[in-house]
Chain A
Amino acid sequence: MKRRTFLQATAAGAFTFFFSSPGRTAPVEPTRPGAYPEDFNAFLKISADGRVGCFVGKAELGQGAMTVLAMLVAEELELDPAQVEMLLGDTDLCPWDLPTGGSLTMWQTAPVLRGAAAEVRAVLLGMASKALKVPVADLAMKDGAIWVKAAPERRTSFGELVKGRKMERHLGKVKPKPLSECTLIGRRVPRKDALAKITGAAKYAGDLCLPGTLHACVLRPPAHGQVLVTADTAAAERVPGVRIVREGTFLAVLHAQPDTARKALALVKGTFEGTEPDVDDVRIFQYLVDKAAPGQRVVISRGDLAAGEKRAATVVEGEYRNAYESHATLEPHTCVAKWEEGRMTLWASTQAPFLLREEVATALKLGQDKVRIITQFVGGGFGGKLAGPGSVEAARIARQIPGVPIQVSWNREEDLFLDAYRPAAVVKIRSGLDAGHGAITFWDSIVAGVSQGEAEFLYDIQANRYQAPAVPNLHPLKVGAWRAPNAHTNAFARESQLDALAAKAGVDPVTLRHRLANDPRLLRLLDLAVETFGWDPAPGPTGRGIGLACGAWRQGLVVALAQVVVDKTTGKVKVERFLEAVDVGLVVNPDGARQQVEGAITMCIGQALSEEIRFKGGRILDKNFDTYVLPRFSAIPRIQVVFADTNTATTQGIGEPPVVPVAAALANAVFDATGARVTHVPFTPERVLEALKLVSTKPQDSVAPVPSSISPKVSPSKP
Chain B
Amino acid sequence: MNATVSFMLNGKPVTVSSPSDRKLVWVLRDELGLTGTKVGCEAGLCGACTVLVDFEAVPSCSTTLGEVAGKAVLTIEGLAVDGLLNPVQKAFQEQHAFQCGYCTSGMILTAWAFLKKKPKASRAEIVEAMEGNICRCGAHVRILEAVETAGKTMGGVR
Q: Are A595 and B39 in contact (CB under 8 A)?
A: no
Q: How far is the CB of A549 from chain B (nearest CB, A)?
A: 18
- List A contacts of B101 (CB < 8 A): 62, 193, 196-198, 202, 377, 379
A259–B19 alpha-carbon span in the complex (Å): 12
Contact of B98 among A62, A257, A412 (CB under 8 A): A62
**Per-position binary interface string of chain A over residues 133-168, scored 1 when its CB falls under 8 Å from any chain B CB and 0 otherwise:** 000000000000000000000000000000000000
Query: B45 and A625: CB pair below 8 A?
Result: yes
**Distance of A596 from chain B, by nearest CB (Å):** 8
Report yes or no: A330 in contact with B80, Cβ–Cβ below 8 A. Answer: no
Contacts of A626 on B, CB cut-off 8 Å?
Answer: 43, 45
B4 interfacial contact with A, CB 8 Å: no
A207 to B38 CA separation, bound complex (whole angstroms):
9
Taking CB as reference atom, which chain A residue is nearest B139?
A599
Cα distance A645–B37 in the bound complex, in angstroms: 42
A648 proximity list for chain B (CB < 8 A): none
Decide yes or no: A259 and B93 within 8 Å by CB, A201-B36, A625-B45, A625-B134 being known contacts: no
Q: Which residues of A contact B42 (CB under 8 A)?
A: 411-412
Contact of A259 with B104 at beta-carbon distance under 8 Å, contacts A200-B76, A330-B46, A634-B131 already known: no
Q: If the complex has contacts A194-B96, A200-B75, A378-B100, are A603 and B30 also in contact, measured as CB distance less than 8 A?
A: no
Q: State whether A379 touches B36 (Cβ < 8 A).
A: no
User: B108 CB to closest chain A CB, in angstroms?
Assistant: 6
Chain B residue, CB-CB nearest to A639: B141
Report whether A330 and B135 are in contact in the complex, using a CB–CB cutoff of 8 Å: yes
Chain B residues near A625: list those with CB within 8 A: 40-41, 43, 45-46, 134
Residues on the B chain within 8 Å of A194, using CB: 92-93, 96, 98
Among residues of A, the one whose C-beta sits closest to the C-beta of B25 is A259
Bitwise, B129-149 to A at CB < 8 A (1) or not (0) is 011111111111111100000
- With contact pairs A62-B101, A599-B139 given, residues A330 and B33 touching in the complex (Cβ less than 8 Å): no
Minimum Cβ distance to chain B for residue A406 (Å): 15
Judged by a CB distance under 8 angstroms, whether B102 is at the interface is yes
Q: Closest chain B residue to A195 by CB distance?
A: B93
| A621 nearest CB across to chain B (Å) | 16
How many interface contacts (CB-CB < 8 Å) are there between A and B?
A: 164
Q: Is the CB of A380 within 8 A of B98?
A: no
Residue of A nearest to B90 (CB): A198
List B contacts of A300 (CB < 8 A): none
Q: Is the CB of B130 within 8 A of A62?
A: no
Label chain A's interface by main secondary structure: loop
Determine how close the nearest CB of chain B comes to the CB of A54; give it in whole angstroms: 20
A259-B26, A625-B46 are known contacts. Are A198 and B98 too (CB-CB below 8 A)? yes
Can you list, as one digit per residue, whether each of A619-645 has a CB less than 8 Å from chain B (1) or not (0)?
A: 000001110001111101001000000
Asked if B100 and A632 sit within 8 Å, CB to CB, the answer is no
A468: interface (CB < 8 Å)? no
A574 contact set on B, CB distance < 8 A: none
Asked if A191 is at the interface of the complex by the 8 Å CB criterion, the answer is: yes
Shortest CB-to-CB span from A267 to chain B, Å, is 16
Interface code B101-139, partner A: CB below 8 Å = 1, 0 otherwise? Answer: 111110010000000000000000011101111111111
Q: Which residues of A contact B85 (CB under 8 A)?
A: 198-199
User: Residue-by-residue, is A32-72 near B (CB-CB < 8 Å gives 1, otherwise 0)?
Assistant: 00000000000000000000000000000111100000000
Chain B residues packing against A (C-beta within 8 Å): 22-23, 26, 29-30, 33-43, 45-46, 48, 75-77, 79-80, 85, 89, 92-93, 96, 98-105, 108, 126-128, 130-144
Complex A-B: 22 CB contacts under 8 Å? A62-B98, A62-B102, A194-B96, A198-B93, A199-B77, A199-B79, A200-B75, A200-B105, A201-B36, A259-B22, A330-B103, A330-B135, A379-B100, A412-B43, A595-B99, A595-B139, A599-B139, A602-B138, A624-B43, A624-B45, A625-B41, A632-B134
Taking A595-B99, A624-B41 as known contacts, 17 extra A-B pairs with beta carbons closer than 8 A to each other, sorted by chain A number, are: A62-B98, A198-B85, A199-B79, A202-B101, A206-B39, A258-B26, A258-B29, A258-B30, A330-B38, A330-B136, A379-B101, A603-B136, A625-B40, A630-B134, A633-B127, A636-B141, A636-B144
Closest 7 CB pairs of A and B: A200-B36, A62-B100, A602-B138, A379-B102, A62-B99, A197-B101, A599-B138
